[in-house]
Chains A and B, each alone.
Chain A
Amino acid sequence: MNRCLSFIFVCLAYHGFGQKEIHLDLGAGLTSHVIKDDAMSPVRYTGVLPTVSFGTIKTKANKKLSEVRLTLQYSNIHAKAAKEYPTMKGPLFRLDFDYVHLRQTNFIKDTTKGTFFVGGSFHTLLSFRFMPQLDNSAIVYDYFSSLGISAAYQHEFNWLKKRLRHYHRLSVPVISVGSRPTYMNVFDFIAPNENDPVGDAFDRASVRSFGSHVRVIFRNSLFYPIRSNNLIGFTYEWQYYGASFTVPIKSAYHSFVFSLLVQL
């Protein structure tokens, strides 16, 4: 079942890549994280992570809109008490892959000359923390691949003789394949040739619905036109996810990314 769902997810992702894109989206910025992960600590960890993203945005006559984006983040996170005890910190690496396919809808009546879209989305989240102070439970991770629903609103307005575009999107994963640490989160290093943390993590992935894995992605972008139909974008994204697995986690971030959108 897990493998079947994973296959479907991957096929959907390839479908996204296979579409003709209009803008190549190259972004860089900073993301402020808050994580409370019982596999790490009873206290919150925070950190500001440099963020880069690559993707494409395709729009077709305001009828269809699709986004494919890979976002990478890496930096240290730490607890408040880290000032007293330096090891209350560790690196966080996070990878997000998002594919969103939307179509215009007239279901919602608009009075602002904007366009409403609804559709489906695919999201993969991979987050690793390395906490050497936790001995053999040092590697802490989350992995979720999800199918979800998305809705967006886009409208254009004039400012300083330019036509700017404002874009808001809300995505909510509904069904996911996910993996989290086990109760003790100790990898099997006492059996010959079985110390395979990555393999173990994927082996224990299970299908989760909205109840046990909650994730909300809110994306708000402003695009400013420059030469040759290229754009400069500024995006604020807020994400929250929680997983009520054996070892629960709650995490949220605010991301601020500037991007250059090059027309292809």
Chain B
Amino acid sequence: MLFLIITFSSCEEAFIESDPKDDPVVNFDFLWSELDQKYSFFEFKKINWDSVYNVYRPQVNGNTSREELFNLMANMLNTLRDGHVNLRSEFNISKYENWFLDYPANFERELILYYYLGKDYKITGPLLHKEIDGVGYVRYGSFQSIIDEDDLDYVFTTYKNSKGIIIDIRGNEGGDPANGFKILERIVKERKLIYRHAFKDGPGHNDLEPFKDVYLEPATEKIRYDKKVVVLTNRLVYSAANYFSAICRVYGIMLVGDQTGGGGGAPAGSELPNGFHANYSASVCLLPNGYNIENGIPPDIKVDMNDEDRINHIDTIIETAIDQF
């Protein structure tokens, strides 16, 4: 039996390749190659990835330390200008954040807490809500917080006699898109093509699987909300919240505030031989009119928070939204 174990262990060594060398150059090349073959927006963003390699690869050699390598890789990934692209290690996580840092915040949490929600608002699941000037104000801060059907039953029933509702998703960096679908299926009145999306399916920059048409069906059997709905957005609305805004655009649900931050590619991940992990966009999503949602959804009414209003404890974007009812 020992003979068999030794024999088969040798077979394993022959059949299964051994690990790549844990060398800075090998790891750098692996990361560059993974992105080259799997990242979905090179063409859309007009990025010459070979040129990026030529800039960063000469800076890596066998003596590059783990932290130096991480920083170089992070800088290389930041050329993709994508919030879904990051690199993770035991000591740091790199992120590209210019998609919101380069723009006005257009959201002040304390202003809402102190002067709009005050002391008598309700918390239903992940939703904070209150009637303001006859309009239901509903704040949904993160799609990572799961909303359930009972939450929506309660909120939509609460504001059935209001003039309408404002859904404030400013600062919502995403999570599970299913949370957005749960809300919107109770608001929309007809089945519509909401977007078309395709995942990468090959190593070429344009190798995408056939685009798949995605439809949203109204949930007629659930408690619905048939009055006017306005959605508040800013640059920190990203990923699943960007999808939510995109669907609102398709259905003509009014968006007020700033353009969303984007994040139109579903993120996938890769592991490097040295244990770093990279995440990156792996799909393309287009609205029915062909608009690529990667760089965000423009609002119907573009309005920034005004400093004078802020001093007077007024959220310009909320006030603009209330004026629409």
Contact = CB atoms under 8 A, between A and B. Distances in A.
Interface string B71-86: 0000000000000000
B312 to A, nearest CB: 41
Grouping DSSP codes into helix (H, G, I), strand (E, B) and loop, the B interface class, with mixed when no group exceeds half, is mixed
A85 interface: yes
Given A85-B276, A183-B201, A44 B90 contact: no
B54 to A, nearest CB: 23
A182 B268 CA distance: 12
A254 B277 contact: no
A186 B88 contact: no
A50 to B, nearest CB: 19
B5 interface: yes
Contact of A182 (B199, B216, B271): B199
Grouping DSSP codes into helix (H, G, I), strand (E, B) and loop, the A interface class, with mixed when no group exceeds half, is loop
B185 A136 contact: no
A40 B16 contact: no
Contacts of A191: 197, 212, 214
Contacts of B200: 183-184
A190 interface: yes
B20 interface: yes
A84 B90 contact: yes
Contacts of B276: 85
B19 A43 contact: yes
B283 A218 contact: no
Given A192-B214, A194-B214, 4 more contacts: A42-B272, A44-B18, A81-B274, A189-B176
27 contacts: A40-B271, A42-B272, A43-B19, A43-B20, A44-B19, A80-B19, A84-B274, A85-B89, A85-B275, A88-B271, A134-B270, A134-B271, A135-B267, A182-B199, A183-B38, A186-B267, A189-B178, A190-B283, A190-B285, A191-B197, A192-B185, A192-B214, A242-B15, A250-B16, A250-B17, A252-B11, A254-B5
